[in-house]
Structure 1
Amino acid sequence: MGKILANYGSILLLLLGVSLGSMVGLWIPNLVDYLKPLGDIFLNLLFVSIIPLLFFAISSSVANIQGEQKLGKIIGLMSIVFLVTILLASIATIAALYLFPVNAGVAPTGGVENPMADNSSWGDRIVSFLTVSEFNNLLSRQSMLAFVIFAFLVGISARRAGTAAAAFVNFLQAGNEVLKQLLLLLMKAAPIGLGAYFAFQVKTIGPQLFGFYAKPMALYYSFGTVFFLLFFSLYAFLAYGRKGPAVFWKNNIIPSLTALSTCSSLATMPANLTAAKKIGVPAAIANVVIPLGNTLYKNGSAISSILKIYVAFTMLGWNFFDWGTIITAIGITVLVTIVAGGIPNGGYMGEMLMISVYGLPTEAIPAVMIIGTLVDPLATILNATGDTVAAMLVTRLSKESFASLDDEKDC
């Protein structure tokens, strides 16, 4: 019981806050008007912190990448594996939502116009998404994608500057640590802030809201489980041959249980490194792919990102299955898997990114944050254990040999 409270305490507190807020919204609606400002304050603090948090997280990570030739090759292959498999996870999730829609259970919120549904040309939209004309506009969360690109470029520039930028790189690292602590501090107020906002939602939309959450959760856990078993087995087969799935799953039991019991990708990393060694992944590959994958590679977050965008659009009565929306959703998902890693409660930062890019109104914010909390156990398993199978794929693409690979292995 002590371990459960230690590992899942923050989630349990958040669910308790949401439950209490729901009861207030149902049974004491007159109290909601006094509680809602608490929710507004919490969300505003998150939005204020998102810009510096993104800047330091991205620029410090990029500035500290080493540039040795072999390491560069591994990172290049790793980037391909991460990108392709995250795209596959995103597309598969969109297909599952198309085949099994979860748009019943609550009436759409009317009167809110979709800011993505404009008549501007693709060229104008790309320019507005990726760049701004004034530096002060870069600091607005309405220009989030442009800001992310700027942070990457700062990190690359600091790396290219070499020893002359040592003090600046140290500043970026220190800033990253400070902002991590800020987010930890803010998230201590999440049970109160989200509970207050959820009370407002229940009062406004009604008790049918709970039926709306049940269907996305059922889809996530059923589809996520199938994805976990099917896609990871496929990746192991492509990497190791016919024996790959058996070898992978035999050694993935402990990492999976570690991820489930700790609800932490970081805590699972030692188990992943041990599993990779037993599978036969070369140490030079495992020691690069698994630690970086812990930060940059998150299948569970990719699936939940698509689901949360879909749920938000359904609540607002917007059409998710528009090509522009889908392409943007996939792009956001790729960014979320990168920027959300290595930061406590980093999924919330990804949600803020998604909310900002789409210009979602406040009605949709609690929905995506609550879903992010409810899917966390399975998302952690997918995020954490995907690093091991990714290391297997990088080994295959690099033409390195598995230490335990039989000479007569079928390919």
Structure 2
Amino acid sequence: MNKKSVMNNYRFLALMLAAMILGCIVGWISPKFGTTIAPFGTVFINMMFCIVVPLVFASISGAVAGMNSRKRAGKIMGTTIAIFLVTGAIAAVIMFVLMKLFPPVLHAWHNMASEDIGEHATMSQMIVNFFTAEDFVGLLSRKAMLPLIVFSLLFGFATNHAEQGDGPVTRWLDGLTQVMLKFVQIITYYAPIAFFAIFANLMATYGSAITQSYGRAMLVYYPLCFIYIFTAFPLFAWFGGGKHGISTMFKHIAKPAIVSLGTCSSVATIPTNLQEAEATGISKDVSEMVCPLGATMHMDGSCFSCVLKIAFVMGAMGTDMSWKMMIPVIAVAVFSSVGMSGVPGGGYIGEYIICSIFFPNNVEVAFPILVAIGNLVDPPATMINSSGDYVVSYMVSRFVDGKDWLNNAIRRQQAEAASAE
């Protein structure tokens, strides 16, 4: 990447940051105006959602179909899922320790209002919906991302088996991926306007709530997310990419972090993660499996919030979260953070899992508290979840392509730049 392209990239990021800050100021000063312009942000998010389904299908299927070795595809997928589980457990342990040191609720609530929780999925429904949709049309929705990923993986393996890694369907999938990435690039020009509207609405909607009864919990959660980016992410990048891993990661992580923070969607950040992974030099088959899969299964930020929710409700009910509960709390955090993203229409399934396990006799009281916390922590949680997908691709690359993969990628980029001159 030449200096001009780097300057253009950071100029655009600066423009988005300025739009976010200006939006927050406008939303704080004039909440009514902030909520009025919310549709301008929704337009951008909806356009990204429209792109995501064909992009995920083409990128995953094409990556698997074009592999010369089905063994490599299995290794990438197995390594990816294992790393997701490990990093999620690490995040849950960190938050558990913090909740013991800084309890979010110091005094029990004695007058908590209860609410109905509405319909919820049974365990058998969750298992079915976790892997499949009712029909092909059901796959054509970002609400069925994990079933879509399962379908895409199987489609890719079938194509690879039929064409042996080189055929018309494989080439079509690769071409469709490139077209969709260009589509994303076009839509991105609208991002500064959208981010101004998104953050004006966020400040208008949640600004006062953050400073009231949930303030103590947010004072722990928000700084932790940013500290995690500047401590855990560099460690992961160093482990995966070696001595150049940290500096390279920080050059490319800003855009995924900003897009995810603004859209509050891991799915909507997939295109940006794929672009930055390509610019880094990560193997295409690695990034095109890790990033889409991570959008539904890599949930470090959600593991943070799950532990926070459990500690918060226990404190509100006057119950101590003892050290003996560490293992079950971590297990539930990892399971619910993955499971709730794979249930079509199940935005609050994670909260229900927490209630059914830890607060079965107080579901009506606990559920609305959990939902409120979830809404408040959603932006930074999504930022950790989504930008972390890009960082995980470093570690997967180390296991799949060897510990020198980043050095080799940097040398290739330098050689290409020298030949271009």
TM-score normalised according to structure 2 size: 0.59
Q: Pick closer, same or farther for the CA change 1:264–1:143 going to 2, 3 Å.
A: closer
Between the aligned partners of 1:280 and 1:300, the Cα distance in structure 2 is: 26
Partner amino acid, structure 1, of 2:387 = T
8 Å contact 1:265–1:384 — kept in the other structure? yes
- The answer to whether the aligner puts 1:388 opposite 2:393 as a matched pair is no
Query: For structure 2, which runs of at least 5 residues remain unmatched after alignment?
Result: 1-22, 24-33, 44-63, 113-118, 145-208, 413-421
Structural mapping, 1:78-227, within 5 Å: 78-104=80-106, 106-107=108-109, 144=123, 171=134, 180=143, 211-227=212-228
1:357 positional shift: 2.2
Q: 1:8 to 1:308 in 2, by over 3 A?
A: farther
Shift of residue 212, structure 1, vs aligned partner = 3.9
Higher deviation after alignment, 363-372 or 343-352: 343-352
Structure 1: give runs of 5+ residues left out of the alignment.
11-64, 111-139, 156-168, 182-207
Provide Cα deviations, 1:38-60, integer angstroms capped at 9, x if missing partner: xxxxxxxxxxxxxxxxxxxxxxx
Distance 2:41 2:344 in 1: 13
Residue 137 of structure 1 corresponds to which residue in structure 2? none
Distance 1:222 1:285, change over 3 A: same
The counterpart of 1:377, out of the listed 356, 379, 401, is 379
1:259 shift after superposition: 1.3
Residues in 2 aligned to 1:246 and 1:321: alpha-carbon distance in whole angstroms: 39
Q: Distance in 1 between matches of 2:296 and 2:326?
A: 25
Q: What is aligned with 2:317?
A: 316
1:404 aligns with 2:413: no
Q: CA deviation at 1:151?
A: 6.9
Cα deviation, 1:259-289, whole Å, max 9, x if unaligned, reads 1222221121111111111222111100001
Give the distance between the partners of 1:151 and 1:393, measured in 2 at CA: 29
CA distance in 1, matches of 2:133, 2:348: 26
CA distance in 1, matches of 2:344, 2:42: 14
Report the CA distance between 1:341 and its aligned residue.
Answer: 2.3
Residues in 2 aligned to 1:338 and 1:389: alpha-carbon distance in whole angstroms: 18
Query: Cα 1:211–1:257, aligned 2, differ >3 Å: closer, same or farther?
Result: closer
Q: Distance in 1 between matches of 2:242 and 2:83?
A: 17
8 A contact 2:120–2:346 mirrored in 1: no
2:391 partner letter: V
Q: Give me the whole-angstrom Cα distance separating, in 2, the residues matched to 1:381 and 1:7.
A: 21
Alignment-derived partner of residue 5 in structure 1: 38
Compute the displacement of 1:219 (Å): 0.7
Counterpart secondary structure, 1:341: helix
- The structural deviation recorded for 1:142 is 11
Paired position in structure 2 for 1:230: 231
Aligned to 1:159: none
Q: Please tell me whether the aligned partners of residues 259 and 267 of structure 1 are also in contact (alpha carbons under 8 angstroms).
A: yes
- Name the CA distance, whole Å, in 2 between partners of 1:81 and 1:257: 23
2:77 to 65, 75, 78: 75
Once residues 229 and 41 of structure 2 are traced to their aligned partners in structure 1, the CA distance between those partners, rounded to angstroms, is: 22
Letter in 2 for 1:229: F
3-state DSSP of counterpart to 1:171 = coil
Report how many aligned residue pairs link the two structures: 283
Any idea what the Cα deviations from partners look like across 1:276-327, whole Å, max 9, x if unmatched? 112221111000011100111111111001101111111112221242x332
- How far 1:405 sits from its partner (Å)? 4.1
In structure 2, distance between residues paired with 1:106 and 1:212: 13
Q: Which moved more, 1:330-339 or 1:373-382?
A: 330-339
Distance 1:242 1:345, change over 3 A: farther
- Quote the offset at 1:143 in angstroms: 7.3
Q: Residues 362 and 335 from structure 1, CA distance in 2 versus in 1: closer, same or farther, beyond 3 angstroms? A: same
Distance 1:352 1:340 in 2: 9
- Report how far residue 243 of structure 1 moved: 1.9
Structure 1 residue 375 displacement after superposition: 0.7
Aligned CA distance change for structure 1 residues 384 and 322 (closer, same or farther; 3 Å): same
- Structure-1 separation of matches of 2:77 and 2:39: 35
Q: CA RMSD in A?
A: 3.6
On the 8 A contact 1:296/1:341 being kept in 2, the answer is yes
| 3-state secondary structure, aligned to 2:409 | coil
Matching residue's letter, 1:218: L
* Counterpart position of 2:337: 337
Deviations 1:87-129 (A, max 9, x none): 000001111111222222553579xxxxxxxxxxxxxxxxxxx
CA deviation after TM superposition for structure 1 residue 72, in Å? 1.1
Q: Please state whether the residue corresponding to 1:334 is helix, strand or coil.
A: helix
Q: Give the Cα–Cα distance (whole angstroms) in 2 for the partners of residues 171 and 343 of structure 1.
A: 12
| Matched residue type, 1:374 | L
| Cα 1:94–1:7 shift into 2, 3 Å | farther
Distance 1:170 1:142, change over 3 A: closer
CA distance in 1, matches of 2:357, 2:137: 28
Contact 1:280–1:405 under 8 Å retained in 2: yes
Change beyond 3 A, Cα 1:354–1:243: same
Residue type matched to 2:134 in 1? F
Percent identical: 29
Q: Which residue of structure 2 aligns with residue 328 of structure 1? A: 328
Q: Separation in 1 of the partners of 2:370 and 2:289? A: 32
CA deviation after TM superposition for structure 1 residue 170, in Å: 6.4
Q: Quote the Cα distance in structure 1 between the aligned partners of 2:127 and 2:326.
A: 21
Deviation track 1:318-373 (CA, whole Å, cap 9, x = no partner) reads 221242x3322211111122122266875522112211222143112111101100
Q: d(CA) in 1 for partners of 2:90 and 2:292?
A: 22
1:118-156 Cα offsets, whole Å, 9 max, x none, are xxxxxxxxxxxxxxxxxxxxxx97974x7756877xx5x
Amino acid at match of 2:260: A
CA separation of 1:286/1:216 partners in 2, compared to 1, >3 Å: closer, same or farther?
Answer: same
